[in-house]
Amino acid sequence: MSMKWSASARGTKQNTEIRLVDKVMYLNGGPDAAKELNGKHWVKFDLSGAEAGKGLDQVSSASSQARQNPAAESSMLTGAKDTKEVGTETVEGVKTTHYQGTATLDELRTAMKEQDKHKDATLREQHEQSLQQLDELGVDKVTMDLWVDGEYRARQFRMQADADQGPFDMTFTFLDYDKPVDVAAPAASDTAKLEELLMGSAEGAGLQ
């Protein structure tokens, strides 16, 4: 898979990209990160071996995002008791019906726990992970918007809330369905390995 997103904090905007290829995660932190990587733009994390957990705390947010399924998050709107139809809108050239609802995290936990009883264990885990991440951000209540096409498929999902560090605003747009995905690993010459970075940090701190 490939995912790109932008995050704003304290007046600055950071663009990030992650790719997952054959159990290896590649993280691109943009030009600022390249300055710390001797000009390389990507960091490689092998998630398949026994040592996969070492150093991943440095990219825990990106790793969590990579494991998320936007379709699972969009289904959380069913946990809002005040869900209403807003109207019809066009999303990426597709006519959709727009729905909106608001719920607290406690309300969503209760609703998802009940709804997921007879669902796949993976979906339950994804709902729990999403709610945990929102909780860690200091979110108490979320407003959710869902745009659904004529075949009852999600075309766009937006989640807004007040978090500890300021406004939280996340939008997923589903551009297509049932199409093949081809994601390539970045060039080796533009990639740094995690173990090399950790070794460099240890040497810089005078550790052996």
Are 101 and 48 contained in the same domain?
no
Average pLDDT over the chain reads 82
H or E segment and range at residue 28? strand 24-28
pTM for the model stands at 0.69
Are 153 and 73 contained in the same domain?
yes
Beta strands in the chain (DSSP E): 2-9, 12-21, 24-28, 42-46, 84-91, 94-104, 141-148, 154-163, 166-173, 191-193
Q: Which 3 state secondary structure label does DSSP give 4? A: strand
Identify the sign of the CA torsion 182, 183, 186, 188.
negative
Region for residue 176 given its phi and psi (left: phi exceeds 0; alpha: psi -120 to 50; beta: otherwise): beta
Of residues 131 and 53, more confidence is placed in 131
pLDDT of residue 142: 96
Q: pLDDT digits over 152-201, tens only?
A: 999 999 999 999 988 999 888 988 888 888 899 999 999 988 766 665 55
Give the domain extent around 79.
68-177
pLDDT of residue 64: 52
Are 96 and 55 contained in the same domain?
no
Domain count, the chain: 2
DSSP category for residue 112: H
The tokens 């460099």 sit on which residue?
200
Are 128 and 188 contained in the same domain?
no
Q: What is the distance between the alpha carbons of residues 92 and 175, in angstroms, rounded to a whole number?
A: 7
Are 83 and 154 contained in the same domain?
yes
Tokens of 28: 């691109």
Are 173 and 73 contained in the same domain?
yes
The tokens 């009940």 sit on which residue?
114
Are 92 and 124 contained in the same domain?
yes
Of residues 14 and 58, more confidence is placed in 14
pLDDT of residue 113: 85
Are 38 and 77 contained in the same domain?
no
DSSP category for residue 79: G
Are 115 and 169 contained in the same domain?
yes
Are 125 and 54 contained in the same domain?
no
Are 93 and 159 contained in the same domain?
yes
pLDDT of residue 205: 41
* pLDDT cut 90: percent of the chain above it: 40
Reported confidence tier of residue 207, pLDDT bands at 50, 70, 90: very low
Of residues 2 and 106, more confidence is placed in 106
H or E segment and range at residue 106? helix 105-115
Of residues 158 and 113, more confidence is placed in 158
Are 77 and 118 contained in the same domain?
yes
pLDDT of residue 208: 43
